[in-house]
Amino acid sequence: MADNIFKINETEYLLAGNRACQGCGLSLAYRYILKALRENTIVTVPACCLTVVHGLYPTTAVNIPCLNCTFSTTAASASGLVAGLAALDKSDITVVAIAGDGGTYDIGIQALSGALERGTDFIYVCYDNEAYMNTGTQRSSATPLGTITTTTPVIAKTQGKKDMLKIVEAHNIPYLATASPSYPVDIYDKFVKAKRIRGPRYLQLSIPCPPGWIYPPKDTVKIGKLAVETGIHVLFEIEDGVFRLTGRSKTLAEKGKRLPVINYIEQQGRFKKMSAEQLDQIQSSVDANWEECVKRAGL
Amino acid sequence: MDNVQILTGNQAAAMGARICRVQVVAAYPITPQSSLMETLSQYIEAGLLKSEFIRVESEHSAMTVCISASSVGARVLTATSSHGLLYMHEQLHWAAGSRLPVVMCCVNRAVGAPWSIFNDQQDSISQRDTGWLQIYCRNNQEIIDTMIQAYRIAETVNLPVMICYDGFILSHTTMPVAVPTSEEVDEFLPPYKPHTILDPATPKNINPVIFPNRKINHEGVLCHAYMEFRYLLHQAALNARRVIADVSREYAQKFGRDHGGLLWTYKSEDAEILVTSMGSLTMELSTAVDILREQGVKAGLVGIRVFRPFPRAEVAEAFCRAKAIIVFEKDISYGFEGALSSDLKASLYETDIRIPIANYTAGLGGRDIKARELVAAITESLAEIKNGTNEPITKWLNCYTG
Amino acid sequence: MNSKIDDNICAMCGPAVAEAGRTGDWRDMRPVIDHSRCVPSVKQKPSCFLCWLYCPEGVVITGIPVKIDMEYCKGCGVCAEECPAKAIKMVQEGSVNG
User: Does pLDDT of C95 surpass 90?
Assistant: no
User: Does pLDDT of A1 surpass 60?
Assistant: no
Contact C20 A63 (CB under 8 A): no
0.90 exceeded by pTM: yes
Summarised one tens digit per residue, pLDDT across range B188-211 is: 999 999 999 999 999 999 999 999
User: Does pLDDT of B177 surpass 70?
Assistant: yes
**pLDDT (0 to 100) of residue C29:** 97
Report d(CA B58, CA B84) in Å as an integer.
Answer: 8
Contact B52 A66 (CB under 8 A): no
The model's confidence at residue C98, banded by pLDDT at 50, 70 and 90, is: very low
The model's confidence at residue C96, banded by pLDDT at 50, 70 and 90, is: low
Q: Does C4 touch chain B (CB under 8 A)?
A: yes
User: Does pLDDT of C43 surpass 60?
Assistant: yes
Q: Of B204, B205, B126, B196, whose CA–CA distance to B162 is shortest?
A: B126
Q: Do the beta carbons of residue B8 and residue B33 sit within 8 Å?
A: no
Restricting to A residues 59-88, those with a Cβ less than 8 Å away from any Cβ of C are: 59-63
Q: Which is higher by pLDDT, A256 or B258?
A: B258
Contact C14 B204 (CB under 8 A): yes
CB atoms near residue B148 (< 10 Å): 22
Summarised one tens digit per residue, pLDDT across range B286-341 is: 999 999 999 999 999 999 999 999 999 999 999 999 999 999 999 999 999 999 99
> What's the average model confidence in pLDDT over B166-183?
98
Q: Does A18 touch chain C (CB under 8 A)?
A: yes
| Cis peptide leading into residue B191 (ω within 30°) | no
Q: Which residues contact B114 (CB under 8 A, 6 or more apart)?
A: none
B73 backbone φψ class: left, alpha, beta (φ>0; ψ -120 to 50): left
Contact C62 A24 (CB under 8 A): no
Kindly provide the residue ranges of all beta strands, DSSP E only, lying in B74-174, ordered along the sequence.
76-80, 103-108, 133-136, 161-166
**pLDDT (0 to 100) of residue B187:** 97
Beta-bridge mates of residue B104: B78, B162
The C-alpha of C47 sits at a distance from chain B's nearest C-alpha, in angstroms, of 33
Q: Which residues contact B344 (CB under 8 A, 6 or more apart)?
A: B276, B315, B319, B325, B327, B357
- Strand order of the β-sheet with B52-54 is B52-54, B24-26, B76-80, B103-108, B161-166, B133-136, B306-308
Report d(CA B126, CA B331) in Å as an integer.
Answer: 9
Contacts of A117 in chain B (CB under 8 A): 57
Per DSSP, the three-state class of A204 is strand
**pLDDT (0 to 100) of residue A31:** 98
Provide φ and ψ at B352, rounded to 5°. Answer: -100, 20
Percent of chain B with pLDDT over 90: 99
Report d(CA C88, CA B318) in Å as an integer.
Answer: 80
**Sign (positive or negative) of CA dihedral A225, A228, A233, A235:** positive
Contact A16 C59 (CB under 8 A): yes
Q: Do the beta carbons of residue B342 and residue B252 sit within 8 Å?
A: no
Report d(CA C15, CA B205) in Å as an integer.
Answer: 8
Which of B200, B205, B215 minimises the CB distance to A60? Answer: B205
Report d(CA B21, CA B17) in Å as an integer.
Answer: 6
Rg (alpha carbons) of chain B, rounded to whole number: 21
Percent of chain B with pLDDT over 70: 100
User: Does pLDDT of A2 surpass 50?
Assistant: no
The model's confidence at residue B350, banded by pLDDT at 50, 70 and 90, is: confident
Amino acid at A78: A
Beta-bridge mates of residue C38: none
DSSP code, position A130: S
Summarised one tens digit per residue, pLDDT across range B263-296 is: 999 999 999 999 999 999 999 999 999 999 999 9
Region of poorest pLDDT, from A57-66, A219-228, B381-390, C1-10: C1-10
Q: Does A74 touch chain B (CB under 8 A)?
A: no
A24: nearest CA partner in chain C: C56
Summarised one tens digit per residue, pLDDT across range B104-145 is: 999 999 999 999 999 999 999 999 999 999 999 999 999 999
Provide φ and ψ at B96, rounded to 5°. Answer: -70, -45
Summarised one tens digit per residue, pLDDT across range A81-132 is: 999 999 999 999 999 999 999 999 999 999 999 999 999 999 999 999 999 9
The C-alpha of A23 sits at a distance from chain B's nearest C-alpha, in angstroms, of 23
A89: nearest CA partner in chain B: B74
Neighbours of chain B (3+ CB pairs under 8 A): A, C
Percent of chain A with pLDDT over 90: 98
A160 CA to centre of own chain: 18
Summarised one tens digit per residue, pLDDT across range B353-362 is: 999 999 999 9
CB pairs below 8 Å between B and C: how many? 61
**pLDDT (0 to 100) of residue A33:** 98
> What's the average model confidence in pLDDT over B241-262?
98
Contacts of A62 in chain C (CB under 8 A): 15
What Å distances lie between residue B271 and A15, B349, B376, CA to CA?
69, 21, 18
**Sign (positive or negative) of CA dihedral A28, A93, A171, A295:** negative
Instruction: Spell out the SS3 assignment of A226-292.
Output: HHHHHCCCCCEEEECCEEEECHHHHHHHHHCCCCCCHHHHCCCHHHCCCCHHHHHHHHHHHHHHHHH
Contact A87 B52 (CB under 8 A): yes
CB atoms near residue B139 (< 10 Å): 22
The C-alpha of A144 sits at a distance from chain B's nearest C-alpha, in angstroms, of 29
Q: Do the beta carbons of residue A274 and residue A141 sit within 8 Å?
A: no
Summarised one tens digit per residue, pLDDT across range B43-68 is: 999 999 999 999 999 999 999 999 99
User: Does pLDDT of A292 surpass 80?
Assistant: yes
- Strand order of the β-sheet with B324-329 is B263-266, B299-304, B273-277, B324-329, B357-361, B395-396
Percent of chain A with pLDDT over 70: 99
Summarised one tens digit per residue, pLDDT across range B149-160 is: 999 999 999 999
The C-alpha of A220 sits at a distance from chain B's nearest C-alpha, in angstroms, of 27
The C-alpha of C77 sits at a distance from chain B's nearest C-alpha, in angstroms, of 29
Per DSSP, the three-state class of B227 is helix
The model's confidence at residue A147, banded by pLDDT at 50, 70 and 90, is: very high
Contact C15 A63 (CB under 8 A): yes
Summarised one tens digit per residue, pLDDT across range A58-93 is: 999 999 999 999 999 999 999 999 999 999 999 999
Q: Does B27 touch chain A (CB under 8 A)?
A: no
**pLDDT (0 to 100) of residue B2:** 74
For an interface test with C, give the residue of A4, A10, A14, A18 to mutate (most C CBs within 10 A).
A18
Report d(CA B294, CA B212) in Å as an integer.
Answer: 60
Report d(CA B121, CA B110) in Å as an integer.
Answer: 7
